[in-house]
Structure 1
Amino acid sequence: MTSTHIELQVTGKDLADRCTVMRRYVPEIATEAVAEIMRQVPEYAYFHDPRAVEVMEQANAWTIDHFLALMATPSLPSTDILKFWRDLGFGEACEGRSLIPLQTSLRVGAGVAFRRLTEEADGLGMDTSATTMAQMTDALFIYHNHLIAAAAEGHAAASEDAGNRFEISRRRLVDLLVSEKPAPGRIAELAQEIRWPLPKSVGAVAFAQPPKDRGPLSPDVLTAFHAPEPFLIVVDPEGPGRRAVVETMLKGETSVVGPAVAPAEAAKSLRWARQALSLVQSGVLPAEGTVFATDHLPILMLMQDPDLASRAIERRLAPLLRVRPSGRVALAETLIACFQSRFNATEAAQRLHVHPQTVRYRVRNLQALFGETLDDPSQHLELHMLLHLWLATARENAS
Structure 2
Amino acid sequence: MRPSTQVQNVVALDAEVAAALRAQLAEVADSVVLAIIDEVPSYAGALTGRMGEVIRNAVQLALGGFLTLASQQGLEAPRAPAMEGAYQLGRGEARSGRTAEALLAAYRVGARTSWHDMADTAVRAGIDASQLASFAELVFAYIDELSAASVAGHTDELESSGRVRQRNLERLARALLNGAPADAVNAAAERADWEPPGALTAVVLPESQVSHALTALDPRTLQPTDEVPGLPEGHASLLVPSTGSATARRTLLRALRGTDAVVGPSTPWLEVAGSHRRALRCAALGLSGLVDSDDHLAALVLAADAEARAELRARVLAPLADLRPSTADKLTDTLRSWLLNHGRRDAVAEELFVHAQTVRYRVQQLREVYGDRLEDPAFVLDATLALA
TM-score, reference length from structure 1: 0.40
Greater relative CO (CA pairs within 8 A, separation 6+): 2
Q: Which has the larger radius of gyration?
A: 2
